[in-house]
A and B are shown apart, each in its own frame.
Chain A
């Protein structure tokens, strides 16, 4: 089953690359997405019984992340045919192939039990998604692709060095290869502390670059801003989740080795810095897609912050992974629709979306409310609980800073969003033929509904899995 999850999307990608029929290729996406999601659901039933020395397999942490990615992929895959139909001038071969490759590699990354294998999967994800950013084939997207490739590859190279440092720490402690995560966690007390600490700092910088934690996020606004909305959704919810998981795997080893305090301080610091940086750049941001990119920087900060606070907050940070992925999907794709309708993504050209394309306009507005923590959507639950836990900790000021930043971001973001959604449409701006259709809005409605459901009710089995994943992250077991 583990290999099916990896190989099925990759084989579909090969098929998509070689098949000639454009229509067949487009239809492949939703089918593969659904079959993969069903297979993930099936594979997840076995997460408790993962053999300790397997090379690949689902545990609670990887399983939860893969579930989030598979659901988001499904939403994107059902949206993509409608979007690609609007862009008949662009060849969809690269698009579909890269999309499917990403799914296979994300399945590999979430199931890999060896830090080296995780690294290989993460680097390959970067390479597989780079062509997506160049989808528009213009100078601006070329610049974004180049930055994404170079900054991403350099960042991830540092993560490799960090991984090797951890392996050397294990070598000094006398642990034998292959270094599965189970073995590393079990023998964590033997690891050489200086190498482990240096290794964690390097992986934090490396995978933090891929996540887009400030100040390593500089590629992010460009990459998300210049690629189509559906690709932004996959990058902001999928690739970042992969990088976050890769970081958590190393974090768990550090925690098991009794260095939790050191790692926590770094995570809280990076988290708050990301939120602050995002807040500053959201003020008077005229480009709606760059606005969303900074929102993604903010939410990566929330994830890091929650993990750093630890305990209950770590559990809700993992929950936030799903909340962020779903709502970012809604936001990026509805922003993409609005963009299609106006042939621009900037104020003052894009105003009054609610009258030009009402469904997308509402979706964008509700997505904004959800992501900034309005009940009943899922981000409210996670943000509220992370803040509540932070306020009970000895360093009260971190919780206060977290709340102040959330408030500031709400104000900064609402300024732009309200103009985009409720302003008066510019009379001199020609209307493009784009109209909201079922194909370009129904998947978003499903994602928004899912996020509202998660905000009200979490199935018992999923809650148990998140609980178990959180203890894993904190280095217990």
Chain B
């Protein structure tokens, strides 16, 4: 029951993400989403396994503390705090997000679950989060918002991975988290260079290379 509630909240954060224009708010919501995801294994009643508790701690540290730290550091260096003039407006993005969630439900109904599985909502919620990440990546101009999109995309995949959390080897889980962190760290450095070179982090400046 608690699991379903958390998943419903995660899907709600998706809608908040595509509707917000303030970059700092989008970051906050993505971080909340990450922490909710991190807590999910406990709600699933897996708190008795030591390795899962460790994974929960690691996931919350990375998504709730380290990644927001990277974002804040990137935000202090840029003056623009709003996503001005996205390629697709906020209302249209909301509609797209709703359509995406519908599509996710449709896709998930075509994939069979293990008999007796308690994870009925996991697949559609995961695909819906994934599509939300895509919407942010494609329709926003600011480099930082695109990184938020990437984070949301990874959140969606993480949600799917939770169906296998009992079995997944720790080495692999740690590697995935570490890669997410290093990835956002490297993107932060590149954004910093973009801001210095173009005096803006609008990715529409990055359109010089073409055939």
Contact = CB atoms under 8 A, between A and B. Distances in A.
Given A114-B172, A116-B175, A157-B154, 11 more contacts: A127-B179, A127-B186, A142-B193, A143-B208, A150-B146, A154-B134, A154-B150, A161-B130, A172-B112, A178-B169, A194-B110
B182 A221 contact: no
A153 B209 contact: no
Interface of B: 110-114, 130, 134, 137, 143, 146, 150, 153-154, 157, 160-161, 163-164, 167-169, 171-172, 175-176, 178-179, 182-183, 186-187, 190, 193-194, 197-198, 203, 206-209, 211
A222 B160 CA distance: 33
Given A139-B208, A143-B206, A176-B167, A153 B150 contact: yes
B211 A221 contact: yes
A161 B157 contact: yes
A28 interface: no
Can you list the 8 inter-chain pairs with the closest CB atoms, starting with the nearest? Answer: A116-B172, A120-B175, A177-B167, A143-B206, A123-B179, A222-B209, A172-B114, A161-B157
Contacts of B208: 139-140, 143
B176 A281 contact: no
Interface string A156-174: 0100110010011001100
Given A164-B164, A194-B112, A198-B111, A150 B150 contact: yes
A134 B112 CA distance: 45
A119 B186 CA distance: 18
B176 A120 contact: yes
Contact of A114 (B111, B134, B157, B169): B169
A145 interface: yes
Given A171-B164, A177-B169, A134 B157 contact: no
A164 B169 contact: no
A162 B109 CA distance: 17
Contacts of B186: 127, 130-131, 149
12 contacts: A114-B172, A120-B178, A130-B190, A144-B209, A145-B190, A147-B206, A149-B186, A153-B150, A167-B167, A172-B112, A172-B114, A281-B211
Contact of A124 (B157, B169, B179, B193): B179
Contacts of A160: 157, 176
Q: What does DSSP make chain A's interface, helix, strand, loop or mixed?
A: helix
A320 interface: no
A410 interface: no
Nearest to A124: B179
Interface of A: 55, 114, 116-117, 119-120, 123-124, 127, 130-131, 134, 139-140, 142-147, 149-150, 153-154, 157, 160-161, 164, 167-168, 171-172, 176-178, 192, 194-195, 198, 221-222, 225-226, 281, 285, 290
A198 B111 CA distance: 9
A127 B190 CA distance: 11
A192 B113 CA distance: 10
Nearest to B177: A120
B193 A134 contact: yes
A120 B206 contact: no
A177 B187 contact: no
A216 to B, nearest CB: 14
Given A124-B179, A157-B153, A160-B176, A142 B112 contact: no
Nearest to B186: A127
B211 A167 contact: no
Nearest to B157: A161
Contacts of A222: 209
